[in-house]
Each structure stands twice: as C-alpha cells, then as structure tokens.
Amino acid sequence: MLKAVKVRLYPSNEQKRIISSQIGGARYVYNRTLALRKYAYQKLGIKVGKFALIKHITKLKKRKKTAWLKEIDSQAIQQSIANMDKAYQHFFKGGGYPKFKSRHHSRQSYQYPQRVKIEGNKVFLPKVGWVKMKGWREEFAGKIKTVTVSYEAYQYHASILIDTEEDKILKPCNNINKAIGLDVGVALMVADSSGKKHKPLDLTKELEKLRRAAQSVSRKKKGSNNRAKAKAKLTKINLKIANKRKDFLHKLSLQYAENQGIVVVEDLKIKNMTKSAKGTKEKPGKSVKAKAGLNRVITQQSWGMFFEFLEYKLKERGGQLIKVDPKFTSQTCPKCGHISKNNRKSQSKFVCESCGFSENADVVGAKNILVRGIHGNNASLQIAV
C-alpha cells in the first residue's frame, strides 16, 4: 500500500541555493524536452521517445552553454523527463496538452525517484545533503518510492511516497451495520445517514485577507520590489487556507474511516458542476453572478479531496468507499419510495407528498445513498479481514 507523507524542510542557506538550482534544472529539462517533442511531431512528423530525450539531455551536458546541467542530479533530470512523458501520454488519452512550467509559478518543485535516506529528524537529498525536517514519525515505515521537494511561500517541503508493503486480504461482507451513507452539500459539508451533520469550514476571515492581498498586488507596479513582497504575502495566505482546509478534511474523513467499514457517497461529476457562468443562455445579471458564486462555493468545499482522503483512509483500515448514481437521492422518500421534486420543500426541509415523512433534506439524501450503495452493489461489497 502506498502512503504519502509531507514534511517541512529547514535547509541551510547553501542548501537553499542548491535546491533552487535543482528546481531550475528540472524545470529547464521539462520545458526543453516538451518543446523538442512538440517540434519533432508538428514539423517533422517524428515521435521522439522518452529514452531518446534522456540521451539528448546527456549531449547537452557536454555543450559549453548547457554544461551547468552537470550540477543537477541525473535521476532528478530523468524523473523530470518521465513526468513530461506521462503528461504527454495523458494528452493522447483525452487529457489536456502539457503546459510549459513557469519560473514565476507560486509553487516550484523537482522529484527524486530513489537514493533518499531518512535518519531521525534529517533527510538525505542527493546533491543537497542532510537536511533538517519536521513532521516525520517512526510509524511511517516502508520503502521510499519517490520524494518531491517543493518551494512555496518561502517554505520548503518534501512529499515522501512510501510503500508500506502491507497487503490486506479481502473477503465478501454484507454487514450493513458497518456501512454509512454520506451526502455532501453547500449548506452542510456532510450529512450522514445516521442523522449527524457537519458544517463547512468557516474561512470568512481568511478569504477576506486573501481578497485584500490580491487587491494589494494589483495596485503595485509590475517588476517592483513592493509587488514581489505583496505577491509573497498573497502566496502565504493561500498556503495557510489550503493547509487549514486539508486539516479539516483529514480530520473529518478520519472520523468516518475509523468508525465504518463501508462508506457510500455520490459519484459527483464536480467539473461539470463548476463550469463557468460565461456563455449561459440566461441574461447577464444576477443569474450569472449566482452561478459564478455557486462555482466558488463548490470548489471551496473540496468534495473531490474529501472523497480522496476518505478512500485511502478506508483502505488502510480494510474498509471500502462506494460511489453511486446521485440522481433523485434528495427527491426520493426513504420510507415509501415516492419520487418527486416537490418532496424537497427547501434547501434543508424534506416532506414526502405521499406518506408525509419529514426529515432534513441532506439526511434523506444520505439515507437514499446508503440504500442505493448496499442494494445496488451488494454483490461486490468487500471489507478487509
């Protein structure tokens, strides 16, 4: 089982300089090989493979202008080419075309595929040396697969991917008592089939600070030191919001993963739900602004990240996440099965037109999600021994 751990790094000034050069070298290699592959295919109709690109970078090291590439870790270079190749292959499978990496992006990183060592509170990074770190615990035992070193908001981090080498034996299980349904929403972050409700994380103050910081950047002259300082402040606020949101989602997902064997959620197409309000047939005005505002709220809830955290935490404990069709889950009466959009009287109130059953609308949705997951996918339900 693969597990990712993110730690804070505290490099010396000399180590910061080396890390900066490694990041710049990896970015240069990524952009250079992407440009070469793009040119060869569009102009000459030739497909250049990953290994041919690696040989090309080896030749560049022998040239006077690009001899500085010798200072960059060779495996970090190969990993940069591998990441570019992966992005390129994803394009041919229907994904977006790979983008060139910018040196002005708020987050910069490079990756080691191996040769990283950890001893106590220090991590050994090739070309950099032993670096102090915080956030590592002895319980994170296993084989290190990759390490991604990143720089953002004047902070250095390392994301360490570990193979815990733990295999769980799965067996069929129909224990409904260990299953729960979750309905995610805007007014409530999560409502479950047992009746519990969790409000969204309140980021009002942080978002106001972010707005002011962004406004401050826009008022500064481009290229000035004041603008650079304002951008750094904006990046720090963004990072703080992201960390606060992740902490909230980690704790909430852990709460359900520890107490349940099976968790059922809706298979939401979040990208389709957050399409831009531009180009809508409605007249410009409140309707378009409301759509844009709804898009913002949905993205701030981070449902996709919540499901991702929940899935891997369940797997670690031998549980399972099941996704079901979200159609009519909030319009179906869990008592008599009557389906009508009129059953949902408001955002929070559900009253069945047929039998009069009344309950919170989000809780009703969670109950229907659970029933759909258990009875619709009963044959494939599995939990660990």
- Which residues are designated catalytic? 183, 266, 362
Burial of 373 per CB tally in 10 Å (0-12, 13-18, 19+): buried
- Say how many CA atoms lie within 13 Å of 64 toward its Cβ: 0
Residue 240 to residue 3: CA distance in whole angstroms = 23
The structure tokens listed for 132 are 């102090």
Residue 32 to residue 273: CA distance in whole angstroms = 36
Radius of gyration of the chain (CA): 25
Contact residues for 13 (Cβ-Cβ < 8 A; gap 6+): none
Per the CB < 8 A criterion, the answer to whether 57 and 81 are in contact is: yes
Write phi, then psi, for 344 (nearest 5 degrees). -90, 105
Residue 66 to residue 312: CA distance in whole angstroms = 43
Q: Which residue has the tokens 């389709």?
A: 272
Q: In the β-sheet with 320-324, what is the strand arrangement from edge to edge?
A: 197-198, 190-192, 179-184, 262-266, 320-324
Q: Of the candidates 29, 101, 56, 74, which has an alpha carbon nearest to the alpha carbon of residue 48?
A: 56
Q: How far is CA 158 from the centre of its chain?
A: 16
